[in-house]
A and B are shown apart, each in its own frame.
Chain A
Amino acid sequence: MALIEIKGVDFTYNELETPALANINLSIEAGEFIAIIGGNGSGKSTLAKLLNVLLLPGSGKVLVDGMDTADEKYKLKIRQKVGMVFQNPDNQLVAARVEDDIAFGPENLGIPGPEIRKRVDQALELVGMAGFHDYPPHELSGGQKQRIAIAGIIAMEPDCIVLDEPTAMLDPKGRKEVMDTIHFLNKEKGITIIHITHFMEETIGADRIFVMHNGAIYKEGTPEEIFHSISDIKRLGLDVTVVVELAERLKKEGFNLPDVLTISELVDCLC
């Protein structure tokens, strides 16, 4: 059984006429790294909120580990299994100290104190921020705050983490920190990652990419498949990465190149 299954979901916000999501069908297996990409208003954030019971589908079903999100009795269980990291690093840390913030989720779950202590230490270790227990959030950089937010989710021992544009407000260094952290968690801890972004280069290394447009899934495939339908991607107002663009232009000029995604791959092919 898939970890997350979305069947024929529609969603319309109260005051609006056009639906934010229309007839979404997808399933995500445990341990996958999924990237969801799309422009503004493509419905990607709405989709994320459905996975974590922050929104309920207008019609259709969202199943997490077989549990229907519409069923009130599963609400907390689903939120524990599917953690969520938001865009603004400042607006999701609750407590005035790093360790209290990481403890917030486990405290809500009613886990005993000594066990929380263990989880807080482990989570800090996993996001590479051991030793930051006592810091107040406002003394951390954006990338560090996002890693603390991720640690706060990890401490709840989820199966899956949904990240809703976690890097949109960060500088390049912070962006790299966050990306490295979530790839590490996916590879080493087997946590399913659903990474929502509008940066094309952040989807490299994902197992599958969903391209969203106007509330529907426009395309689905591996990074190789998605990146090389350049004209399609550009029509949606998204940018392909420089490397892919360059490779594509070289091919047009008659170079014999395989499909490449990263700089090092391109260098290997050319030299």
Chain B
Amino acid sequence: MLRNINIGQYIARDSIIHKLDARIKIIITILMITALFFIDSFKGYFLFLLAVLFIIYLSQISFMRIIRGLRPVLFLVLLTLILHIFFTRGGEVIWQWRFITIEKNGLITGLFMVSRILLLIMFTSLLTLTTSPLQLTDGIESLLRPLKRFGIPASELAMMMTIALRFIPTLLEEADKIMKAQMARGADFESGNIIRRSKNLIPLLVPLFISAFRRADDLALAMESRCYHGGEGRTKLHELKVKTQDFIALFISILFSILVSFF
């Protein structure tokens, strides 16, 4: 179960979208999502969908992969649609049966909401599919840096993210090892109802936590001995640099989001 550890959902490809600066991608994503909330016509949503499809094409990520990412929200989408159809009032009556009526406004608002949710998920998953967690971390750090003045410890947060990313596989491996050791001693992780099963996880979680704290202690010592003293005066091996294509991408998406908001 713990083979093929894949952190986040990054898929490595050699595409234009992958090569864009992480900061620019984050900004574009925020911009586009904001624009998405200003659209109030089907033409607008259609245009937006075309843009998303075009970016998917450029990113060389398979369309099915994106569709699969929509599955977890399917229930939410259906629920939204049903609630709007039956409970939002206004406009002419389309269909009526005893006390249940469907009115036009309800149908339209419902479809709007559904398009909005689906497009939002598609666009944000494009960000995480084309940007590695490390680049994302660097990007977020760099975007938050100006907020340092207001007491937001950007580089420390980024350091925490990096360490978390570094230790996820290590801890997973360890969990696997502990699980096997406990199973050899007769622990049962698979049978029983939910309560029973979560109780049975205790012999896995206790050793895992103890070892995680021990690791944290060791790591802090190792970091200190390598001159770590917070984000102050730290340089970076990979300085993020905004290139021409980043500006072009940003420019296009600004234009597009203005245009699409008027539809």
Chain B residues within 8 Å of chain A by Cβ, number: 30
A92–B237 CB distance below 8 A: no
Given contacts A86-B218, A138-B170, A153-B226, A107 and B165 within 8 Å (CB-CB): no
Shortest B67–chain A CB gap in Å is: 29
B134–A94 CB distance below 8 A: no
Chain A residues within 8 Å of chain B by Cβ, number: 39
A110–B173 CB distance below 8 A: no
Q: Which of A99, A116, A156 meets B226, CB within 8 Å?
A: A156
A138–B173 CB distance below 8 A: yes
B222–A91 CB distance below 8 A: yes
Given contacts A95-B166, A97-B134, A88 and B218 within 8 Å (CB-CB): yes
Q: Is B224 an interface residue (CB 8 A)?
A: yes
Chain B binding site: helix, strand, loop or mixed by DSSP? helix
- How far apart sit A176 and B170, CA to CA, in the bound complex (Å)? 24
Report chain A residues within 8 Å CB of B238.
100, 113
Residue of A54, A99, A110, A138 with highest tally of chain B CB at under 10 A: A138
Shortest B114–chain A CB gap in Å is: 37
- How far apart sit A99 and B163, CA to CA, in the bound complex (Å)? 14
A92–B218 CB distance below 8 A: yes
Residue of B nearest to A119 (CB): B237
Q: Which of A54, A107, A110 meets B221, CB within 8 Å?
A: A54
Q: Is A109 an interface residue (CB 8 A)?
A: yes
- How far apart sit A120 and B238, CA to CA, in the bound complex (Å)? 12
Given contacts A99-B237, A103-B237, A111-B235, A94 and B227 within 8 Å (CB-CB): no
B227–A109 CB distance below 8 A: yes
Per-position contact with B for A31-54: 1 when CB-CB < 8 Å, else 0? 000000000000000000000101
Per-position contact with B for A102-126: 1 when CB-CB < 8 Å, else 0? 0111111111110011001000000
B222–A94 CB distance below 8 A: yes
Report chain B residues within 8 Å CB of A152.
226
Residue of B nearest to A84 (CB): B225
Shortest B72–chain A CB gap in Å is: 26
Report chain A residues within 8 Å CB of B173.
138
Report chain A residues within 8 Å CB of B225.
52, 54, 79, 83-84
Q: Which of A86, A94, A120 meets B162, CB within 8 Å?
A: A94
Q: Which of B163, B166, B227, B237 meets A79, CB within 8 Å?
A: B227
Shortest B209–chain A CB gap in Å is: 15
B235–A107 CB distance below 8 A: yes
Q: Is A136 an interface residue (CB 8 A)?
A: yes
A83–B166 CB distance below 8 A: no
Residue of B nearest to A109 (CB): B227
Residue of A nearest to B137 (CB): A96
Residue of B nearest to A102 (CB): B237
- How far apart sit A92 and B215, CA to CA, in the bound complex (Å)? 9
Q: Is A80 an interface residue (CB 8 A)?
A: yes
Report chain A residues within 8 Å CB of B237.
99-100, 103, 106-107, 113, 116-117, 120
A96–B166 CB distance below 8 A: yes
Report chain B residues within 8 Å CB of A84.
222, 225
Residue of B nearest to A92 (CB): B222
Q: Is A220 an interface residue (CB 8 A)?
A: no
Q: Is A90 an interface residue (CB 8 A)?
A: yes
- How far apart sit A96 and B173, CA to CA, in the bound complex (Å)? 15
Given contacts A79-B226, A84-B225, A152-B226, A90 and B170 within 8 Å (CB-CB): yes
Q: Is A209 an interface residue (CB 8 A)?
A: no
A96–B162 CB distance below 8 A: yes
Q: Could you give 27 example pairs across A and B, Cβ below 8 Å? A: A54-B224, A54-B225, A79-B226, A83-B226, A84-B222, A84-B225, A86-B222, A91-B214, A93-B166, A94-B219, A94-B226, A95-B162, A96-B133, A96-B134, A100-B162, A105-B226, A106-B235, A106-B237, A107-B234, A107-B237, A108-B226, A108-B228, A108-B229, A110-B234, A116-B235, A116-B237, A138-B5
Given A92-B219, A104-B226, 13 other A-B residues pairs in contact with their CB atoms under 8 A: A84-B222, A90-B215, A91-B214, A94-B162, A94-B163, A94-B166, A97-B134, A105-B227, A113-B235, A120-B237, A137-B166, A137-B170, A153-B226
Q: What 7 pairs across the A-B complex have the smallest Cβ distances?
A: A91-B218, A92-B222, A103-B237, A108-B227, A138-B169, A96-B166, A105-B226
Binding site for B on A (CB under 8 A): 52, 54, 76, 79-80, 83-84, 86, 88, 90-97, 99-100, 103-113, 116-117, 120, 136-138, 152-153, 156
